[in-house]
Amino acid sequence: MSTKTVVVVGHGMVGHRFVQNLRTRDATDQWRVVVLCEEPDAAYDRVGLSSYVSGWDRSALALAGNDYLGDDLVTVRLGESAASIDRAGHTVTTATGGEIVYDALVLATGSYPFVPPIPGKDTEGCFVYRTLDDLDAIRTAAQAAGPGATGVVVGGGLLGLEAANALKLMGLVPHVVEFAPRLMPLQVDSGGGALLESLVTELGLTVHTGVSTTSVQTAPSGGLTVTLSDDSTIDAGLLVFSAGVRPRDELARAAGVGVGERGGVLTDSVCRTDDPDIFAIGEVAAVEGRCYGLVAPGYSTAEVVVDQLLGGSTTFAGADMSTKLKLLGVDVASFGDAMGVTEGALEIVYSDPVAGTYAKVVVSDDARTLLGGILVGDADAYAMLKPMVGSEIPGDPGDLIAPSSSGTAIGLSALPDAAEICSCNAVSKGAICSAIADGACDVGAVKSVTCAGTTCGGCLPSIKKLLAESGVVLSKSLCEHFVQSRSELFEIVAATGVRTFSGLIEQYGTGTGCDICKPTVASILASTSSDHILDGEQAALQDTNDHFLANLQKNGSYSVVPRMPGGEVTADQLIVIGQVAKDFGLYTKITGGQRIDMFGARVEQLPQIWRRLVDAGMESGQAYGKSLRTVKSCVGTSWCRYGVQDSVAMAVRLEQRYRGLRSPHKIKFGVSGCARECAEARGKDVGVIATESGWNLYVAGNGGQSPVHAQQLASGLDDETLIAYIDRYLMFYIRTADRLQRTAPWLDSLEGGLDHLRDVVCDDSLGICAQLEEAMDAHVAGYRDEWSAVLEDDEKLKRFVSFVNAPDESDPTIGFDDSSGRKVPVLLGSPTVPARS
């Protein structure tokens, strides 16, 4: 079978979804794919665009597999747009003059930002909010305007509030101008809009509703003067238009392909245009005359066209326009007939202005069928309510949003199998339950089999509940020797005062232990006291790195990493490090955590090296332990002209407070002195970013094999509140995490996720904050440098030998090669050690 060519114009989220699905389903390689991507970046998460502001890392938004590495049947042309279509010749001409022949053409050109036709809209300092390049341009203007300058956003819809949040993260003071009488007029009603305005105002936004922007002018003193329809003016550093989008149908229009009266490429129910070889998907597609501006319907159109190209008969069955999002930390959700436009529809409203929540459900005239709803301030019920739309309500409709009305809560068990749990991927409750019945016994397995939860993740709580309701019981046992989980063993140790592994396994376990439970218990014992990890029985529990308080390298040598709080080091200490490295022939390297790593030390040299480092005022950086590693910082207000807080002083304070803290996995911090985020705090377990109003605290970010961005826990904190929150967060993690579980998967597995963590840490919902702070205070008070303690203890020093039966011998297998100009480890062969009588 000869291979045909499909040209995809546009490489956004929907275009990428089309290519991925086609290549996954095209088992016989019928189609070769050529993608024209106008932007310099391959497909990225445009829904999460505002998160780019936190780290300015384009790669963090890249969609998985967007380079189609190793697939010879996919070609992506970055930075190359389509200029014209020759329908008769079946060719696309690119902006660079290239010509591509197609058998099928898929238009995935998306949409462009609508800019109202107001005088001055093209004035310097006016921007749109759509691409990474747009945000880079806004960032440059924000830096020029300076922290605290006003940023105006024209448009108070979903994208407008996202843009306002981005400006706030850049250090600006956002003003939002919305022509409608409320914010997010397409998603929420007047009651929900009123609460939303109140909540975002408390978070630092100034909202102007019921007015329009009539002109934009350059102010005499610089910046902009923005005039509103009520004749008021706003002096601003910049302005962002985010007043909606329009489909990018100009390419099709110029080629004579049919377009809708209000724009968009007209298609039938299989997304085919009036040219049988041209399809349209995503925001540009007017499917049977209607455009859809959300990702989920776009994905559906992509899958329909894939099916058509492979000979299938799937049609576009309409779209779920439900939305759930968090704007500036405020939950907002709408689903189904949220505005109650269905004839005879009834509305039930539950509003709690004190708690800052608003909930409405729309039901049929007989109050038996759920039609839709709105949630503001607390959207936890969304995961249960959205799949129920169109279904019979099992009980009192008021219980859906206010269970106290009858004392009965309605759960997922009441949903029919046809109820859609994952709207992004159109996965029903029945499909998930079938996958569970067939052996998908955890969230990862369900995601792999059904694709549910693989896009926005909003349905993950429902998946977990379905697993539980299906009778899936996952063993919580740490290992074969302990039926308890790690968190349960932690509570046992803390409550009973047992201080040895042998005592713990005798009372609460079986057998003699293994390489799973021994280091886990060792970590728990270290987290619950200030005892030295090499004291007594504990020493035998440690793995190799902790056993020698250094990192074992590939040839049997060790590396030494002294602590440098906040990246600070004195000139005298640098001289000592250099001299030690020279005297012991060590390879030196600056680490990503702002420290100096010295490689190539033999085990018997470690005490000699540390003696000199300790005498110079340095201590162990604990690069070998499951503990705090580093607190990375920028230079903050000390040196940087953009800094708004003293990030170095805070980083030093945090590192000195949490040094030596043992935990289920290693912990890294970052402290940035402004929104430019030079310390990469959003990639850390604890991220602290300075603003004019205080510190913003981010948690559960991880680098490594599966990088995860940290999530904002709280904002505008003073120094003492920041430290109190970090104390609580860390101790809660240490108490409850599983063995070797990093903070990101721990938070993901935590029932209630970030909202629950915020309730525990910030609002003390469990009443344990005092205990958590007391535990951290005990750690701080009892801290002592591990290497200093070793150097003062002759018994501990005896372990630092290559061979117990030949303590004066060095390991002959350890060697190095510096022929390349830098020292690297090599293995020289098997050891020959003389026998000792």
Q: Where are the domains of the chain?
A: 4-111+247-309, 126-243, 322-410, 413-472, 486-542, 627-785
CA 112 vs CA 153, 243, 478: distances in Å: 17, 11, 53
Please, which pLDDT band fits residue 61 given cuts at 50, 70 and 90? confident
Nearest to 86 by CA among 213, 233, 257: 257
| CA nearest neighbour of 619 among 823, 627, 819, 716 | 627
Give the pLDDT mean for 692-701.
92
Do residues 599 and 613 lie in contact, with contact meaning Cβ atoms separated by under 8 Å?
A: no
CA 789 to chain centre: 40
pLDDT of residue 825: 83
731-781 residue pLDDT tens = 999 999 988 889 988 888 887 888 899 999 999 999 999 999 999 999 999
Confidence band of 113 (pLDDT split at 50, 70, 90)? very high
For residue 820, what pLDDT is reported?
Answer: 73
Look at residue 555 in the predicted model and tell me its pLDDT. 79
Count of positions (residues) in the chain: 837
pLDDT band at residue 407, thresholds of 50, 70 and 90? Answer: very low
Please check the confidence at residue 242 and state whether its pLDDT lies above 50: yes
* Contact of 279 with 267, CB cutoff 8 Å: yes
State mean pLDDT over 271-277. Answer: 97
167 confidence band (pLDDT: 50, 70, 90): very high
Q: Which of 611, 622, 632, 631 is nearest to 551 (CA)?
A: 622
Quickly list H helices, 694-804.
719-736, 743-749, 753-763, 769-782, 786-791, 794-797
Looking at residue 131, what is its pLDDT?
93
CATH class of 413-472: mainly alpha
Above 90 in pLDDT, residue 816? no
**Which residues lie closer than 8 Å to 359 by C-beta, 6 or more apart?**
349, 350, 351, 373, 374, 375, 376, 378, 381, 401, 402
pLDDT of residue 834: 34
Cα torsion 513, 516, 519, 524: sign? negative
φ, ψ dihedrals at 598, nearest 5°:
-115, 115
Q: What is the mean pLDDT of residues 646-653?
A: 93
Residue found under tokens 């029903």:
428
pLDDT tens, residue by residue, 73-101 = 999 999 999 999 999 999 999 999 999 99
Question: Structure tokens of 450?
Answer: 């059904």
Domain 126-243 in CATH 3.50.50.60? The answer is: yes
User: Does residue 183 have a pLDDT over 90?
Assistant: yes
First to last CA, the chain: 77
Average pLDDT, the chain: 88
Looking at the predicted structure, is the pLDDT value of residue 408 above 50? Answer: no
**CB under 8 Å, gap of 24 or more: what pairs does 469-473 form?**
469/411, 469/412, 469/413, 470/433, 470/436, 470/437, 472/436, 472/441, 472/442
Crossing angle between the packed helical segments 719-736 and 647-658, to the nearest 10 degrees: 40
**What is the number of other CB atoms lying within 10 angstroms of the CB of residue 305?**
28
At residue 96's C-alpha, the angle toward residues 91 and 100, to 5°, is 20
Nearest in space to 542 (alpha carbons), one of 533, 553, 552: 533
Q: At what angle do helices 460-469 and 443-450 cross, to 10 degrees?
A: 110
Q: Is the pLDDT of residue 796 over 80?
A: yes
> What mean pLDDT do residues 541-555 have?
80
pLDDT at 414 (0 to 100): 67
- Between residues 188 and 638, which one has the greater pLDDT? 188
How do strand 104-107 and strand 4-9 relate by DSSP bridges?
parallel
**371 alpha-carbon distance from chain centroid:** 32
Does residue 164 carry a pLDDT above 60? yes
Confidence of residue 827 (pLDDT cuts 50, 70, 90): low
Q: How confident is the model at residue 411 (pLDDT cuts 50, 70, 90)?
A: low
Check: CATH 3.40.50.11540 for 322-410? no
What are the angstrom distances between the C-alpha of 464 and each of 460, 505, 759? 6, 32, 20
Residue type for position 728: R
The CATH superfamily label for domain 627-785 reads Sulfite Reductase Hemoprotein, domain 1 (3.30.413.10)
pLDDT category, 698, cuts 50, 70, 90?
A: very high
Give the per-residue pLDDT at 405: 43
pLDDT confidence tier of residue 833, bands split at 50, 70 and 90: very low
User: How do residues 667-688 score in pLDDT, each as one tens digit?
Assistant: 999 999 988 888 888 889 999 9
CATH of 4-111+247-309, one of 3.40.50.620, 3.40.50.880, 3.50.50.60, 3.40.50.720: 3.50.50.60
For 590-648, the pLDDT digits (tens) are: 988 889 999 999 889 999 999 999 999 999 988 888 899 999 999 888 888 888 899 99
Q: What average pLDDT does this structure show over 145-152?
A: 93
Average the pLDDT over each of 229-238, 268-277, 406-415, 740-749 and give the range with the smallest value. 406-415
pLDDT score of 471 more than 90: no
Q: What is the C-alpha to C-alpha distance for residues 372 and 834, in angstroms, rounded to an integer?
A: 82
- pLDDT of residue 314 exceeding 80, the answer is yes
- How many Å apart are CA 46 and CA 20, to the nearest integer? 17
Highest mean pLDDT, choosing among 31-45, 354-368, 504-518: 31-45
The pLDDT-based confidence of 1 (bands split at 50, 70, 90) is: low
**HSE (CB half, 13 Å, CA atoms) of 215?**
10
Per-residue model confidence (pLDDT) at position 383:
74
Using the Cα atoms of residue 469, residue 472, residue 478 and residue 480 in order, give the sign of their dihedral. Answer: positive
pLDDT one-digit tens code per residue, 121-133: 999 999 999 999 9
In our burial notation (b when 16+ CB lie closer than 10 A, e otherwise), range 56-94 reads: bbeebbbbeebebeeeebbebbeebbbeebeeeebbbeb
126-243 and 413-472 in the same fold: no
Exposed (0-12), middle (13-18) or buried (19+): which is 137, by Cβ within 10 Å?
middle
